[in-house]
Amino acid sequence: RIILQKVITDDLEALLDILPPPIRQPLCQQEDISELLEVVLDLGRPPEARFPQREVVLNPKEVSEQEIDYVASRVSSFGDDNRAGIERTLHRISAIRNRKGRIIGLTCRVGRAVFGTIKVIEDLVESGKSVLLLGRPGVGKTTMLREVARVLADDLKKRVIIVDTSNEIAGDGDIPHPAIGHARRMQVTTPTMQHAVMIEAVENHMPEVIVIDEIGTELEAQAARTIAERGVQLVGTAHGNTLENLMMNPTLADLIGGIQTVTLGDEEAKRRG
């Protein structure tokens, strides 16, 4: 039985500071605030806080345009993927816009660095083989990826480069969050360029390991395969609950070698049951 020693840092104060006082004050009074997952602000609806086991309305008063603007003005600028952050933290602020481009909803998600999360897969990561983490959104893939980068860079002294598309692995701002240790981080200007930055990282910076979050397009899957074929260890994540999900996804099937269709004769089909 493995006993995991987890140390969590979440910079929660920084997230609370961007919230308007009528929302922040009732949130601070929650006994389990340390377990906060996200705060949801939708124009014309009461603000909500989400915890692992419950959701709570923070104020019966509906969220106003001024309150949305209050938060948006206190975070970094939103990228093409409608995500922003708070300097030197791991928090993610995601925007919902109307057809004219105005922000009418915000999801303020708590980012946590959890040290000690990779004990379960440490032997796989240290083997030098490429690793793909699968799971639905919110299960902690990015958190584990961050810790993998730190362990490989600090404990195994490897040259690690993180390709960070939404600044979600190493946090917002130009100086990466301490949670990635000595790993280096390359930022991506727009999500559609992620595959190009993956290749650029290998060609320009001689990494032994590339760490990448959310491989989701055919070009990214091809880039991942190219990197692995050059002898560089790749540690990445993809959405999906099982290996079967990945096999049935024509875009990402390449990550596990691809699938070929073969036709069997009657005799061979019988022999194989």
Q: Do domains 9-109 and 113-256 have the same CATH topology?
A: no
Mean pLDDT of 69-87: 95
41-45, 46-50, 98-102, 234-238: least confidently modelled range: 234-238
Q: Does pLDDT of 2 surpass 50? A: no
Residue that wins the pLDDT comparison between 271 and 173: 173
Residue 8 has pLDDT above 80, yes or no: no
pLDDT average, residue stretch 7-31: 93
pLDDT at 205: 97
pLDDT-derived band at 270 (thresholds 50, 70, 90) equals: confident
For residue 44, the model assigns a pLDDT of: 97
- Is pLDDT above 60 for 115? yes
Task: Using the predicted structure, report yes or no on whether residue 4 has a pLDDT greater than 70.
Answer: no
The pLDDT of residue 244 is 82
pLDDT surpasses 90 at 7:
no
pLDDT band at 5 (very low <50, low <70, confident <90, very high): low
* CATH-assigned architecture of domain 113-256: 3-Layer(aba) Sandwich (3.40)
Segment among 14-28, 34-48, 248-262 with least mean pLDDT: 248-262
Domain boundaries, the chain: 9-109, 113-256
Q: Which CATH architecture does the domain made up of 9-109 adopt? A: 2-Layer Sandwich (3.30)
Task: Record the pTM.
Answer: 0.86
pLDDT tens digits for 139-164? 889 999 999 999 999 999 999 999 99
Concatenate the DSSP letters of all residues of the chain into one string: -PPP--EEE--HHHHHHTS-HHHHHHHHT-TTGGG--EEEEEBTS--EEE-SS-EEES-SSPBPHHHHHHHHTTSPPP-TTSEEE-BTS--EEEEEE-TTS-EEEEEEEPP-EEETTTGGGHHHHHTT--EEEE--TTSSHHHHHHHHHHIIIIIS---EEEEESSSTTT-BSSSPPGGGTT-EEEE-SSGGGHHHHHHHHHHHH--SEEEES---SHHHHHHHHHHHHTT-EEEEEES-SSHHHHHT-TTTGGGGT--------HHHHHHT-
pLDDT at residue 90 tops 60: yes
Quick one: pLDDT at residue 192?
A: 93
Residue 3's pLDDT band, with cuts at 50, 70 and 90, is very low
- Express each pLDDT in 164-218 by its tens digit: 998 999 999 999 999 999 999 999 989 999 999 999 999 999 999 999 999 989 9
